[in-house]
Amino acid sequence: MRTAQPKIAAVTGAGSGIGRAVARELLDAGWSVALAGRRAERLAETAEGHAASRALCVPTDVTRPEEVAALFTAVRNRFGRLDFLFNNAGTFGPGGVPVEELDYAAWRHVVDTNLNGAFLCAQAAYRQMKEQEPQGGRIINNGSISAHTPRPHSVAYTATKHALTGLTKSLSLDGRPYGIAVGQIDIGNAATDMTERMQRGVLQANGQLAAEPVMDVADVARTVRHMAELPLEANVQFTTVLATTMPYVGRG
């Protein structure tokens, strides 16, 4: 069994929120991490306090194939291989917009970021993991509770998160011959800038506004690290981490 702990990771959307928490969790645990995100200054904030030899900041727009290619070239050039990709970059898009009013450009932006960006990063990581010696690695896609159950007025976000589940399953199947393990983490209400509004009140399926509980984003980061540090013979295919009393299971 290949039980050696992997140590080289790439995290997209590492400039804030869940991506920042996961990147810092890995860095604190001794990993070398390539931090990818659109804003260089936010990536530098994530890497602050960690050795420059282990924290590589690569400004990247995941919707642009050439920038994704440059990210993984930078990983190879700095670290020599890639053991783990946390495919995390995403956007919710315009909130509270009924489907009949959703602008196509807004729909396309969400699809390009959440789905096309995830595919481009997974494809590049897959290629590198297949070609490197020793072969193999792990990819974890950041899904969402919305990969199972939508919120009102979230058609673009929900559609892309459902699609990510198909991406996860296909990559997991195709990666088997090459020691590439692929899983998905579905997260509900981690406390980040993106979920701040939920504590003030968000639209529920019954048409009412209600505040929703959140959980510490560090709990998500620890879960991702646990998944990442399994030997490649073991895989968490799907896992759900959520604020215990959020309205998801049953009727609330």
Catalytic residues: 157
Helices and strands, counts by H and E, the chain: 7, 9
Q: Where are the alpha helices (DSSP H) in the chain?
A: 17-28, 40-47, 65-79, 104-111, 117-131, 155-175, 217-228
Angle at alpha carbon of residue 32, lines to 87 and 135, rounded to 5°:
70
Could you tell me if 137 and 83 are in contact, meaning their C-beta atoms sit under 8 angstroms apart?
yes
Q: Could you give the CA distance from residue 102 to residue 94 in angstroms, rounded to a whole number? A: 8
Q: Could you give the CA distance from residue 106 to residue 110 in angstroms, rounded to a whole number? A: 6
Q: Could you give the CA distance from residue 35 to residue 101 in angstroms, rounded to a whole number? A: 36
